[in-house]
């Protein structure tokens, strides 16, 4: 007979979403069981956000040295030690890991089971030889790399986000399949760390972002020396000794390493969801606005629900779960003010509607732009490659904002607040921004909403009229 554990909440998956639910629920007095089959911290800590941003940190450090001459500094980049870069990346992971570890969660009162969970009934699951019965379940099992069915791919040694951060040598020539955030961040990181890089993309690079802003990223990557091939179709892949040969409809590419970054596959298939009456398909577990699955006692959050797949989205979902499952409030998820950022140089950050979707939803819109080349701080720092683009209604309600440029991920936050709080453009235009800061681009773009009426003939006439009275 297996041990039977009865609990208030059982969370499956110890990644960004699951850990947030477990920590919140246990600290608010619920009895919580957390089941994790691999590494605590999930993708973000071990194979995602943290190692990718640490690798980019190392790459940008190398690039700063290469570009130091612009500022009159005589610096030479002598060598990049790939083993030390690897150790740096893993040092960063190890530094954050205690925050997500089993001991910390057990210290909060969470019972952690290390094993793979699978449902054996609508309110029962099994993991590590134990049976767990819970009032509510939360599925937070994340996603894994989607491997496309390309002829020969299964027979070559390819990398994914789960293995690329283990490299201790710089690839001579890295071929990347995919031009989403993983492909683009990894392309720049490896190029700036000394590899030749070719990116092969079925559609356009960063297709979820505004093409006008993506142009800035594309030109910078090309300037870095990255070979980007868009709208191409990979027909076959073979390995000849140490060389990987990728054949497209028009060309043959030969590289030393291959990274597959062609999207994600949700981790739903091994949970025996049929036993729990939870509906799902290859792309996601089906949920309603309250993040309940087709079994109302079982919630699903984060990557496994498909759609937007970000750590802060999984964290936001966790808050919705706490309100629904613990406080019995009918809280609904609303992703209208959920930002996303690709952390290459220049960064590209967005929130809300883009130009195309805003036109579809609102008809007549206003588009406000301000280039970083007109920003004094960007000039002093030599970082003028970029643009802010803001979309409003005719009356000035903010619908969306995108920024490509230095620190875009930081600068977008004022727009996240504005959209979340339904502020009008005048709120940003009237903000006093310290001089000289990059953030002035937001104020200047917002201010441009009023330029046509403020400096119009009508205003001039009115001012001249008022001046007649002394
Ligand atoms: C290379 C890369 C870079 C990224 N960079 C960013 C970034 O900069 N910013 C950002 O916001 N997002 C980024 N992301 C996305 C982010 O990592 C994910 O959106 C986030 O980790 C999703 O959290 P989650 O809790 O849904 O899933 P995960 O963090 O993947 O956690 C799921 C956990 O469930 C476990 N699990 C699965 N099945 C079972 C089972 N049957 N039983 C028990 N446990 C199970 C897994 O082992 C895993 O630990 C990046 C992703 C990648 C791949
Ligand atoms: N900075 C961040 O927040 C960040 C960074 C990395 C990853 N992520 C998350 O991880 C998710 C997955 O990232 P991703 O880049 O793998 O996926 P993606 O779905 O965003 O992009 C997939 C890319 O692969 C291309 N593609 C698909 N099949 C192909 C084929 N057969 N040959 C060539 N190209 C092909 C597509 O055209 C597209 O460019 C992202 O959507 C995001 O949610 C976020």
pLDDT digits (tens, 9 = 90+) for 255-274: 999 999 999 999 999 999 99
Assess whether the region 154-262 and the region 346-454 belong to the same CATH fold. no
> Is residue 288 within 8 Å of 274, Cβ to Cβ?
no
pLDDT tens for each residue of 43-57 = 999 999 999 999 999
pLDDT tens for each residue of 89-132 = 999 999 999 999 999 999 999 999 999 999 999 999 999 999 99
3-145+265-325 CATH, one of 3.40.50.261, 3.50.50.60, 3.20.20.70, 3.90.1150.10: 3.50.50.60
ipTM metric: 0.98
The Å distance, Cα 180 to ligand 2 centre, comes to 4
pLDDT tens for each residue of 24-43 = 999 999 999 999 999 999 99
Identify the residue with better confidence: 452 or 78.
78
Q: In the predicted model, is pLDDT for residue 330 greater than 80?
A: yes
Q: Which residues are annotated as a binding site for FAD?
A: 53, 141-143, 303
Q: In terms of C-beta density within 10 A (0-12 exposed, 13-18 middle, 19 or more buried), how is residue 156 classed?
A: middle
Q: Can you tell me whether residue 2 is helix, strand or coil?
A: coil
CA 72 to centroid of chain Cα atoms: 36
Q: What angle do CA 375, 433, 429 make, to 5 degrees?
A: 90
Q: Where are the domains of the chain?
A: 3-145+265-325, 154-262, 346-454
Q: Give, as one character, the DSSP assignment of residue 159.
A: B
Mean pLDDT of the chain: 97
CATH code, residues 154-262: 3.50.50.60
Q: Rounded distance, CA 264 to CA 269, Å?
A: 13
Domain 346-454 has CATH 3.30.390.30: yes
Q: Which residues are annotated as a binding site?
A: 53, 141-143, 178-185, 263, 303
Q: Which residues are annotated as a binding site for NAD(+)?
A: 178-185, 263
Segment 304-325 shows an average pLDDT of: 97
Atom of ligand 2 nearest to the CA of 308: 43
Take atom 5 of ligand 1 and give the residue whose Cα is closest: 49
Query: CB of 313 closer than 6 A to ligand 2?
Result: no
Q: Rounded distance, CA 7 to CA 195, Å?
A: 51
Binned at pLDDT 50, 70 and 90, residue 168 comes out as very high
Q: Rounded distance, CA 257 to CA 102, Å?
A: 35
Query: CB of 341 closer than 6 A to ligand 2?
Result: yes
The Å distance, Cα 74 to ligand 1 centre, comes to 42
Q: In the predicted model, is pLDDT for residue 282 greater than 90?
A: no
Query: CB of 183 closer than 6 A to ligand 2?
Result: yes
> Is residue 110 within 8 Å of 22, Cβ to Cβ?
yes
pLDDT of residue 135: 97
Long-range contacts of residues 412-420, Cβ cutoff 8 Å, at least 24 apart: 412/339, 412/341, 412/349, 412/350, 412/351, 413/339, 414/439, 414/442, 415/339, 415/351, 415/352, 415/390, 415/442, 416/337, 416/339, 416/351, 419/336, 419/337, 419/351, 419/352, 420/336, 420/337
Q: Can you tell me whether residue 161 is helix, strand or coil?
A: coil
pLDDT of residue 132: 98
* pTM of this prediction exceeds 0.90: yes
Ligand index nearest the alpha carbon of residue 151: 2
Residue from 142, 162, 208, 312 whose mutation best tests the ligand 1 pocket (most atoms within 8 A of CB) = 142
pLDDT of residue 1: 65
Please state the length of the chain.
Answer: 470
């Amino acid at each position: 007979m297996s041990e039977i554990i009865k609990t208030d909440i059982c969370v499956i998956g110890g990644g960004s979403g699951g850990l947030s639910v477990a920590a919140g629920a246990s600290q608010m007095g619920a009895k919580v069981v957390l089941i994790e089959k691999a590494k605590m911290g999930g993708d973000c800590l071990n194979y995602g956000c943290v190692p990718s941003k640490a690798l980019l940190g190392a790459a940008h450090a190398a690039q700063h040295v290469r570009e130091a001459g612009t500022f009159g500094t005589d610096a030479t980049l002598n060598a990049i030690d790939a083993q030390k870069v690897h150790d740096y990346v893993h040092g960063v992971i190890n530094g954050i890991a205690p925050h997500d570890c089993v001991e910390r969660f057990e210290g909060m009162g969470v019972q952690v089971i290390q094993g793979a969970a699978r449902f054996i009934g609508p309110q029962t699951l099994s993991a590590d030889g134990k049976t767990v019965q819970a009032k509510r379940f939360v599925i937070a099992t994340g996603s894994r790399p989607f491997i496309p069915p390309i002829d020969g791919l299964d027979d070559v040694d390819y990398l994914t986000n789960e293995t690329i951060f283990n490299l201790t040598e710089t690839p001579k020539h890295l071929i990347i399949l995919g031009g989403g955030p993983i492909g683009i961040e990894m392309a720049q990181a490896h190029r700036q760390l000394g590899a030749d890089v070719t990116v092969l993309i079925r559609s356009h690079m960063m297709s979820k972002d505004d093409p006008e802003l993506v142009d800035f990223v594309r030109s910078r990557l090309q300037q870095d020396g990255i070979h980007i091939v868009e709208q191409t179709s990979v027909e076959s892949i073979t390995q000849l000794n140490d060389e990987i040969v990728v054949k497209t409809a028009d060309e043959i590419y030969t590289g030393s390493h291959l990274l597959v970054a062609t999207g994600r596959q949700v981790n739903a298939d091994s949970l025996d969801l049929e036993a729990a009456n939870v509906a799902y398909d290859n792309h996601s577990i089906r949920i309603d606005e309250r993040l309940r699955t087709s079994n109302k006692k079982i919630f699903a959050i984060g990557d496994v629900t498909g759609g937007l797949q970000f750590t802060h989205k999984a964290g936001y979902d966790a808050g919705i779960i706490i309100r629904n499952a613990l406080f019995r409030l009918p809280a609904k998820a609303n992703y209208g003010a959920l930002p996303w950022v690709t952390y290459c140089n220049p960064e590209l950050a967005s929130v809300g509607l883009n130009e195309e979707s805003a036109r579809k939803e609102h008809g007549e819109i206003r588009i406000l732009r301000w280039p970083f080349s007109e920003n004094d701080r960007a000039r002093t720092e030599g970082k003028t490659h970029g643009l802010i683009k803001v979309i409003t209604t005719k009356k000035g309600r903010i619908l969306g904002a995108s920024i490509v440029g230095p620190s875009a991920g930081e600068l977008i936050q004022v727009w996240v607040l504005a959209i979340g709080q339904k502020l009008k453009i005048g709120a940003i235009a009237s903000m006093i921004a310290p001089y000289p800061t990059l953030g002035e681009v937001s104020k200047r773009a917002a201010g441009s909403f009023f330029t046509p009426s403020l400096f119009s003939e009508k205003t001039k006439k009115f001012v001249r009229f008022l001046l007649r009275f002394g």
